[in-house]
Chain A
Amino acid sequence: MTESLWTYLMVGVTFAIYIGIAIWSRAGSTKDFYVAGGGVSPLANGMATAADWMSAASFLSMAGLISFSGYIGSQYLMGWTGGYVLLALLLAPYLRKFGKFTVPDFIGERYYSQTARIVAVVCALFVSFTYVVGQMKGVGVAFARFLEVKFEVGIGIGIVIVLFYTVLGGMKGITYTQVAQYCVLIFAYLVPAIFLSLYATGNPIPQLGLGGKLTDGTWLLERLDQIHTDLGFKAYTSADVNRVDMFFVTAALMLGTAGLPHVIVRFFTVPRVKDARVSAGYALVFIALLYTTAPAISVFAKTNLITSLQGKEYENVPGWFSKWEHTGLLSFDDKNGDGKIQYYNDQNPDMSAKAESNGWSGNELTIDQDIIVLANPEISQLPAWVIALVVAGGLAAALSTAAGLLLVISTSVSHDLLKKWLKPEISEKNELWAARIAIMVAVIVGGIAGMNPPGFVAEVVAFAFGLAAASFFPAIVLGIFSKRVNKEGAIAGMICGIIFTASYILYFAVFKSGSPENYWFGISPKGIGTLGMVVNLVVTLIVSRLTPAPPQDVQEMVGLIRYPKGAGKAQEH
């Protein structure tokens, strides 16, 4: 069978499965729709959380990102996993005991204030929407590249599929589809990695192969360090980098993970408090499977890529080279006209002597980091069905994350805005309809924005974490661990945290009004959410001390959510 036939087959079969699941798990009530009836098993919830969490970016771009950043790329690996420890220990069990549907629900009741609820809804909508635009764009790119349709058509197909199972099934449909999507995406990620590891080091486990020896007896990582320094790059594993910024970025990603509404809401779907704790553990196991494999892929692929291209005649490059040249992900510019490929760091002054003696006149190869995962199976000459599998996996990753985010947006509109604020007398049936209409509007607006993302959206997606860290994380954690924190403190804290963080990001990253030399303490906009979190925390604590303590019944509620007994089923609202 040919490669494109395999691709159509894999994508067709997996999509049929998702749609089948959606029909089987239709939502009958708002509780089904918002929190899957509160009856999802912790294992299934862990898997769904992992699929929800790992986006097209995790699947397609992360290994490439690490490949081209080396040690400093660890900030993403630790940042996007460490937050689950915070979730399991500081948030998930208590929010489950609280037992409502959304993050604004918690903020609104804990801080006994409609204003706090609305601030939370606005933050949730803002964070989720910027994030979903990025996912829709990812869906479009994935479809366009693999099914060879136009980018706009790709997004269109994505919209229809996502609409179908989110509108029909709500959280219930999404959860069970995500379980299937996780299986597809992890299988698709691991299979090429196992092949690569086996070829490179003879060890089938990529995590061990990464620390293994090549056939000639040298350590793989030592060889890659050597290749890097020979070409004038920093050694791959060298920790001689701006570690202050790395510290702040890692912390912002961790705190942001624990504050993202589409992640938190997943822990409302399990039946008991102890399920919420263990479910976060399962989620992290499933996530760690991909996140510990990614750095291995980065190293195998980078080594293969450089050794198979550096110094080779352009005439004799392997077939995949020209295929990816067409997509623009690889480009070759023969600057010195010798017909050979020279890849090196021409910005490094130490390389100029070597380049001159070799007759090199600048780096000739431009590599887009996304190629690391996409072209990997071909570079390593894996069978056609593996390539098709990667396609299905990438689509599963993009669709599952988009669906989870859309649900948060629709819940924010129908539950937090309509039911709890504008139209409290709305019937359950109408609320369900409102939720479905909100999803439709959100997916279509998100899709259109994904087709022509305004420059700022693309910029802001990466910063959704910083904003979540600076707004929700302190408000929720303090709300659980302190009885004294009151509505004045929480509202002031959230507003200061998000304004501080957003201004820094807008100033440095969006309007580019300042250059990196002017960063405070060398902290890049990606890491500023950590400082924003501290601002929020300090403001909340100070303002709370200066204003009256929360009412007695709120303090009692805080007392109650600390003990698991009596969580029962998710409460009716």
Chain B
Amino acid sequence: MEESSLDLYWKKNLSYLTILLSIWFIVSFGCGIIFAESLNTIKLGGFKLGFWFAQQGSIYVFVLLIFVYVYLMNRLDKKFKLNED
């Protein structure tokens, strides 16, 4: 495999990481902590939104983020023929 193609694979991986970890930060530290008080003025059924993000929503998003990353990386591995048997 050529060096440049491996570099491209790594760059792609780093850009996925940047995007997913930004979401990770915004949902937990952003919606769950920093902006929780203002989000609490919005209601989602019986939940105040800030409280919901802090005790429920952020955890669901965490799970989702990992599976999105798994999907993206498996696709990337195949594209660059780096997938294991």
Contact = CB atoms under 8 A, between A and B. Distances in A.
A281 B70 contact: yes
| B interface secondary structure, majority | helix
Given A211-B47, A239-B40, A250-B29, A563 B9 contact: yes
B54 A71 contact: yes
| A interface secondary structure, majority | helix
Interface string A253-282: 000000000000000000011100110110
Interface in A176-230: 207, 210-213, 219-222
A78 B46 contact: no
Contact of A284 (B56, B63, B82): B63
15 contacts: A66-B55, A73-B55, A74-B33, A74-B55, A77-B55, A78-B32, A82-B28, A89-B69, A237-B40, A250-B32, A278-B67, A280-B66, A281-B63, A288-B62, A291-B59
B59 A85 contact: no
Contacts of A295: 55-56
A207 B32 CA distance: 17
B42 interface: no
A88 interface: yes
A564 interface: yes
A292 B69 contact: no
Contacts of B44: 211
Nearest to A271: B84
A85 B45 CA distance: 28
A246 interface: yes
A89 B72 CA distance: 11
A292 B33 contact: no
Nearest to B66: A281
A85 B66 contact: yes
A284 B77 CA distance: 23
B59 A567 contact: no
A251 interface: yes
Given A211-B45, A240-B37, A564-B83, 7 more contacts: A81-B58, A84-B62, A210-B56, A243-B36, A291-B59, A292-B59, A562-B10
A565 interface: yes
A559 B69 CA distance: 21
Contacts of B77: 274, 564-565
B38 to A, nearest CB: 9
Interface in B38-80: 40, 44-48, 50-52, 54-56, 58-60, 62-63, 65-67, 69-70, 73-74, 77
Contacts of B70: 88, 274, 277-278, 281
B40 A563 contact: no
B62 to A, nearest CB: 5
A211 B46 contact: yes
Contact of B21 (A89, A219, A273, A278): A89
Contacts of B40: 237-239
Given A89-B21, A285-B63, A239 B56 contact: no
A85 B46 contact: no
Closest 9 CB pairs of A and B: A74-B54, A219-B46, A281-B66, A211-B46, A239-B36, A237-B51, A295-B55, A239-B37, A211-B47
A210 B47 CA distance: 8
A213 B65 contact: no
A284 B66 contact: yes
Contacts of B66: 84-85, 88-89, 277, 280-281, 284
A519 interface: no
Contacts of B84: 272-274, 564-565, 567
A476 to B, nearest CB: 15
Contacts of A66: 55
A213 B74 CA distance: 43
B29 A247 contact: yes
A85 B56 contact: no
Nearest to A97: B84
B66 to A, nearest CB: 4
A78 B59 contact: yes
B83 A274 contact: yes
A444 interface: no
A565 B9 CA distance: 12
